[in-house]
Structure 1
């Protein structure tokens, strides 16, 4: 049965937003909204880099907004390293800019449906130096564009709504608008945004609305945010920041919601943790259940009335990665709470071959793989 062809529901697939979309979809906000600017490489910069020992290759443009780079810790070393790896994925990144080529790339790897996430827009909307009005304008503009993008094949391309957290008073209206489109999910970064964590009391009505509307909240982190991502207080390189950002922020996001009582008060709320792997789940739930939960009962008795692992199993789905150790996580939460996302077309995941997924995950039998690749996403996103 390992040779079975699985019709994959890709729960974490990305677009690459063409720079031109903002000119059209931000048209009603042009007055006073900072524009995206590109700082291009040139021969003088290239010559200077070569004299410093860097390889003789051109760098992609640096995105800026309000005069500030969209990405943090994005010095020349990081840009050169990215240029080297990006040269291997030009075709893939170009295909993600438009729905026709996106669908073709899905056909090549047996992906029947894809949950579609932003790339650059998530950094723009959550930028710490963007004001509230601009953050909301860019979120709304992205949602309009991705609506048109996915309309090319609405049964296969399933958009995730982008939320601006800059002004918590707008959260409920934003999620209501997204639900009115018929969409199944919104994406949030797991970090605190402008000093407010996920569990902050000002977010309470948002979680209640998501639960009532059946909207899945998908947490998707990323390295180099202009914000408060874990590790940025001690590291500056892509290697260390990328190692920390995704799994550690996922763990802290769960704790933030757990301790604040969001999960206790909203038993129907559905959460998805993406691009962080799933092998962190077993050790994290063991620690929360066996070390933290019973240590100071007076601190948890109000908002955590059952072991943390029980909340996770009630509320959460988590994206697995090809090749990661699964045995402990399977024992902890079972395979029914696992989903799969390719992260296409981002280069850190392109070496994973979806056509050989069964051979790369020997811990799973055919029935479990069918659930993870097809049935579990249907249950999560109500497909």
Structure 2
């Protein structure tokens, strides 16, 4: 394999002062922030209408499992410089043998849970500005995506246009919109994204409801994660969105894989057996609309990849490292990709790790891979203090 590795799903880790420093004055007291909570170790991301979220796993790539409790108590004090410094991020890519990453938020998508739509839009706009500035360090290796609120389709379309002007390469929407994506009032967003050649992404976690701190609610939410993607896809198909915008490209991130063959079978049966009874008369089969218009990311799931290939195109799958999150393959991504290559062969692996994501997001990278990573055997040394880590 001689093409450089590209992660189709990695993450930014928003600086604690992102919103307190960027939001208009009228929102300062309400701004999302990172704080210490009485009686709890570590630091927490907090915002109105949202359950506090511990920050430790956001930047714990490469930390051994037995070290995670200690890392949780440190919070962002243990974060590596790459969390907020894009130049340090490029160095971390080199350590991992990765040439580029498509970047999604860590905390900003939680803001979808805020009830005040105007406040949400202001927070997401501030995040998009930060992403654009971060990725400007090397736009071909740091590929930014914008978070767009869906409450007002006209304003959403305007933010898509603004994001493209900032140099961002994709648009992230909630999995559970205020109005169904089948609603034709949302067409300005699809039309704008297609016209600007921007993929639309639905990422796990980008939902209005928040995960409850109750253990049973949290486990239920975790188990049912694929249903978020299933509902969105069903609305797009039976709402005729791909009928009106056949060039729409949708990316699903972190939703796993094995549910997809069963979902396609159910979707196909619903179309054939019941569609016309409900006034749905598609020009193309429902299954084909999904398999032609949807791309899916995966991370560790080599076994799942081999099991779904008979029913899913290899050109619609993309590998991801998930850096800098605790579940990331960093700094061993080259070894993980070698396992993938052994399972599916070099040509398919090149599609998964370079060709497809490069075409989808319009990247221009050297045609040959770097000579190889200099991966350490453990995590990089933490910075001495939070202040030292901030750009």
Same fold (TM over 0.5): yes
Instruction: Tell me if structure 1 keeps the 8 A contact 2:172–2:200.
Output: yes
Instruction: Tell me if structure 1 keeps the 8 A contact 2:103–2:142.
Output: yes
Cα distance, 1:41–1:205 mapped onto 2, change above 3 Å: closer
Matches of 2:343 and 2:292 in 1, distance apart? 24
Is the aligned partner of 1:65 residue 2:80?
no
Matches of 1:367 and 1:85 in 2, distance apart? 42
Matches of 2:309 and 2:279 in 1, distance apart? 28
> Cα distance, 1:299 vs. partner?
3.9
Q: Which residue of 2 aligns with 1:377?
A: 357
Cα distance, 1:106–1:352 mapped onto 2, change above 3 Å: closer
Cα distance, 1:156–1:359 mapped onto 2, change above 3 Å: closer
Q: Which residue of 2 aligns with 1:275?
A: 254
Matches of 2:242 and 2:75 in 1, distance apart? 40
Matches of 1:299 and 1:202 in 2, distance apart? 24
Matches of 2:107 and 2:67 in 1, distance apart? 15
Q: How does 1:1-383 map to 2 (within 5 A)?
A: 4=1, 7-26=4-23, 29-32=24-27, 34-42=30-38, 45=39, 59-66=41-48, 68-71=49-52, 84=69, 86-87=71-72, 95-124=82-111, 126-129=112-115, 131-192=116-177, 195-222=178-205, 227-228=208-209, 236-245=216-225, 247-289=226-268, 291-299=269-277, 302=280, 304-322=282-300, 323-350=302-329, 353-361=332-340, 362-383=342-363
Instruction: Tell me if structure 2 keeps the 8 A contact 1:258–1:303.
Output: no
Instruction: Tell me if structure 2 keeps the 8 A contact 1:12–1:342.
Output: yes
Over the aligned positions, Cα root-mean-square deviation in angstroms equals 3.0
Instruction: Tell me if structure 2 keeps the 8 A contact 1:93–1:345.
Output: no
Matches of 1:171 and 1:326 in 2, distance apart? 34
- Structure 1, unaligned runs of 5 or more: 46-57, 75-80
Matches of 1:256 and 1:89 in 2, distance apart? 40
Matches of 2:232 and 2:317 in 1, distance apart? 18
Matches of 1:354 and 1:240 in 2, distance apart? 30
Cα distance, 1:300–1:360 mapped onto 2, change above 3 Å: farther
Cα distance, 1:302–1:9 mapped onto 2, change above 3 Å: same
> Cα distance, 1:301 vs. partner?
5.8
Instruction: Tell me if structure 2 keeps the 8 A contact 1:260–1:303.
Output: no
Matches of 1:172 and 1:127 in 2, distance apart? 20
Instruction: Tell me if structure 2 keeps the 8 A contact 1:71–1:123.
Output: no
> Cα distance, 1:94 vs. partner?
5.4
> Cα distance, 1:155 vs. partner?
2.0
SS for the counterpart of 1:363 is helix
Cα distance, 1:327–1:293 mapped onto 2, change above 3 Å: farther
- Structure 2, unaligned runs of 5 or more: 55-65, 364-391
SS for the counterpart of 1:115 is strand
> Cα distance, 1:92 vs. partner?
6.3
Deviations 1:95-124 (A, max 9, x none): 322212221221111111111111111112
Q: Which residue of 1 aligns with 2:59?
A: none
Instruction: Tell me if structure 1 keeps the 8 A contact 2:299–2:322.
Output: no
Deviations 1:235-254 (A, max 9, x none): 74544422322x22112211
